[in-house]
A and B are shown apart, each in its own frame.
Chain A
Amino acid sequence: SAVISQKPSRDICQRGTSLTIQCQVDSQVTMMFWYRQQPGQSLTLIATANQGSEATYESGFVIDKFPISRPNLTFSTLTVSNMSPEDSSIYLCSVDAHLTSFITGDTQYFGPGTRLTVL
């Protein structure tokens, strides 16, 4: 298994500012994912971040709004840019349970989440 930590755990931000969320894993992992969890909504994948390549964004999410870094096999960041109240959500990072394999993304370990409120 993998232990995942996220910083910050929560934040309250002003409209128009940006916030960078950090995700740290205690094991080397190939596939990392960033999700958004809005109240009453399904967990929604924002992007997949593999070390050594550009992040792959899902429909409805763009790099200018959610830039991602993946500098090594244990760390990633997600930035929420030019925030609006609609960005208020829980942001979660996760890793593929197969850790260093590209096999699948079917089972994942999740971090505790970052609770973001935009005023």
Chain B
Amino acid sequence: QKEVEQDPGPLSVPEGAIVSLNCTYSNSAFQYFMWYRQYSRKGPELLMYTYSSGNKEDGRFTAQVDKSSKYISLFIRDSQPSDSATYLCAMFGVKGGSEKLVFGKGTKLTVNP
């Protein structure tokens, strides 16, 4: 089982739709959970950062963490064409004896006007 699993998509939705992006993980030592957004030909930018299980909301974006199920989600409400990007989940914790940031493969999202 891979340490972080993320469906690469691609995912195509109409403007205004609710988008759900998900990642599962196997390493229970992960303590911090992040979502990065990467536009084409750009570097990843931090979108959401969570520490514990539960929900965190920022505008149209909600990050959800369920540590008991080792499952994290990112919800985008009222999606816009400008949300079209690749979304990378990332987790931070002990790996191989030291702390590391581990990324999923990313889900490519297209929001159609």
Interfacial residues, chain A to chain B (CB-CB below 8 A): 4, 40-45, 59, 92, 94, 97, 104-113, 115
Residues 53-108 of B at the A interface (beta carbon under 8 Å): 88, 90, 92, 96, 99-106
Indicate if the CB atoms of B46 and A42 lie closer than 8 Å. Answer: no
Q: Which residues 10-43 of B have a CB within 8 angstroms of A?
A: 32, 34, 36, 41-43
CB distance from B17 to the nearest CB of A (A): 25
Contacts of B106 in A (CB 8 A): 42
Cα distance A108–B105 when bound, in Å?
17
Interface size class of B (residues with CB under 8 A): 20 to 34
Secondary structure call for the A interface: loop
Chain B: residues with CB nearer than 8 A to chain A? 4, 8, 32, 34, 36, 41-46, 49, 88, 90, 92, 96, 99-106
How many angstroms between the C-alpha atoms of A106 and B96 in the bound complex? 16
Question: What distance in Å separates the Cβ of A105 from its nearest Cβ neighbour in chain B?
Answer: 6
In the assembled complex, the Cα of A115 lies from the Cα of B43 at a distance in Å of 11
